[in-house]
């Protein structure tokens, strides 16, 4: 039997296109991006707040696609056409992100979503700005700063998260309508196998996360929901989100027991104070500590 949960609105509508939530335990922050505005959004989950949490905004570039905590402090980020590094607020280098070089020159292709692997590398994938199929790729930024292309022919590169044992990764190319399982040789590095984990119904699969039991939670663009799939691919939980375009989800908080969900105004068709807000629920399971970038 499928369990249903209703997520509550946790912030005002703060993002034109919210994406990429991630817990930063060292600062007690839930970080996410307002992608096309190029802004980093943070919520301090260790503070007692009002009914709607305060969101702090920091402009870091023309486009901020994704980010993950960096082991030495700050964040690694996906920018419009490559990777970058971002210092912590208050540090001597605070300001816009420092690009690590463009991976391509075509302005009609941009970075989208990503995550870190057990080897400390940051993966981020691309897509065409007009959603043309097959123009994206998936890239890996190693701790030594080298970049490898892991997949090509991607339509809309989205969620990427490793299983609890680090044996494989779950990956979404939204153009395929499902979630795949990647077998990865980190010493190569190379993707040695790509198999279908589950076909998603009720919306377009977008960003995802994995809980401590190995189940996969995926946001459904256009579906007003987040789905949880058990490790054997069974849908057992639906989180209802009171706006049409959830984009991604992540476990956060000191106990990693809160599921936070980003949403978008794009495609929602109405400015009702709900689209572009952050949502949360307490689903009764815990997440995994986010893997950091070790470069």
pLDDT of residue 53: 82
Task: Answer yes or no: are the C-beta atoms of 177 and 158 closer than 8 Å.
Answer: no
Pairwise CA distance, residues 294 & 73, whole Å: 10
Nearest-5° Cα angle at 179, 11 to 82: 70
Per-residue pLDDT 10s for the chain (295 aa) are 899 999 999 999 999 999 999 999 999 999 999 999 999 999 998 874 556 789 999 999 999 999 999 999 999 999 999 999 999 765 555 678 999 999 999 999 999 999 999 999 999 999 999 999 999 999 999 999 999 999 999 999 999 999 999 999 999 999 999 999 999 999 999 999 999 999 999 999 999 999 999 999 999 999 999 999 999 999 999 999 999 999 999 999 999 999 999 999 997 766 789 999 999 999 999 999 999 999 9
Distance between CA 124 and CA 113 in Å, rounded? 6
CB within 8 Å of 47: residues ≥ 6 apart? none
Rounded CA gap, 223 and 205, in Å? 9
CA angle centred on 170, ends 165 and 173, rounded to 5°: 165
241 vs 87: CA distance, rounded Å: 33
Across 70-175, the runs of DSSP E, i.e. the strands, are 75-78, 82-86, 98-102, 109-116, 122-128, 136-141, 147-154, 157-162, 169-173
Long-range contacts of the stretch 231-238 (C-beta < 8 A, 24+):
231/163, 233/197, 233/198, 235/2, 235/198, 236/2, 236/3, 237/2, 237/3, 237/4, 237/5, 237/283, 238/2, 238/3, 238/4, 238/5
Q: What is the DSSP-derived secondary structure letter of residue 17?
A: B
The distance from CA 169 to its chain's CA centroid, rounded to whole angstroms, is 14
Residue ranges with strand state E in 10-70 = 18-24, 29-34, 39-44, 56-59, 66-69
Q: What is the domain partition of the chain in residue ranges? A: 3-281
User: Is 206 among the residues known to form the active site?
Assistant: yes
Separation of alpha carbons 224 and 243, rounded Å: 6
| Nearest alpha-carbon partner for 162 in 119, 205, 128, 201 | 119
> 3-state SS string over 237-273?
EEEECCCCCEEEEEEECCCCCEEEEEEECCCCCCCCC
- The CATH number of the domain covering residues in 3-281: 2.120.10.30
Kindly name the residue from 34, 113, 206, 211 that is annotated as catalytic. 206
Distance between CA 274 and CA 179 in Å, rounded?
A: 27
Q: Residue 90: its pLDDT value, please?
A: 59
Cα separation, 65 vs 254, in Å, equals 25
DSSP assignment letter at 108: T
Starting from the edge strand earliest in sequence, which strands make up the sheet with 8-9, in order? Answer: 8-9, 279-281, 258-263, 246-252
Please tell me the pTM assigned to this model.
0.96
């Amino acid at each position: 039997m499928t369990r249903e949960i209703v997520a509550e609105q946790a912030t005002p509508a703060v993002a034109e296109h919210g994406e990429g939530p991630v817990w930063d335990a060292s600062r007690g922050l839930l970080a996410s991006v307002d992608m096309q505005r190029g802004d980093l959004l943070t919520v301090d989950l260790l503070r007692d707040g009002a009914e709607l949490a305060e969101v702090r905004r920091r402009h870091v570039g023309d486009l901020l696609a994704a980010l993950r905590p960096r082991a030495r402090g700050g964040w690694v980020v996906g920018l419009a056409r490559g990777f970058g590094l971002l210092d912590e607020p208050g540090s001597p280098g605070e300001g816009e992100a420092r690009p690590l070089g463009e991976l391509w020159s075509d302005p009609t292709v941009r970075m989208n979503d990503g995550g870190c692997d057990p080897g400390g590398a940051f993966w981020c994938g691309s897509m065409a700005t007009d959603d043309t199929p097959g123009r994206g790729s998936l890239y890996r930024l190693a701790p030594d700063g080298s970049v490898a292309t892991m997949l090509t022919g991607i339509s809309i590169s989205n969620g990427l998260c490793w299983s609890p044992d680090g044996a494989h990764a779950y990956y979404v190319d939204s153009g395929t309508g499902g979630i795949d399982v990647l077998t990865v040789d980190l010493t190569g590095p190379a993707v040695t196998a790509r198999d279908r984990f589950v076909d998603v119904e009720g919306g377009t699969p977008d960003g995802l996360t994995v809980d401590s039991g190995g189940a996969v939670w995926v946001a459904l663009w256009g579906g007003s929901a987040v789905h949880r799939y058990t490790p054997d691919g069974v849908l057992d939980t639906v989180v209802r989100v009171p706006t049409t375009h959830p984009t991604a989800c992540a476990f956060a908080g000191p106990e990693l027991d809160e599921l936070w969900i980003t949403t978008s105004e794009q495609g929602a068709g109405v400015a009702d104070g709900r689209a572009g807000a952050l949502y949360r629920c307490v689903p009764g399971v815990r997440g995994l500590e986010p893997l950091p970038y070790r470069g």
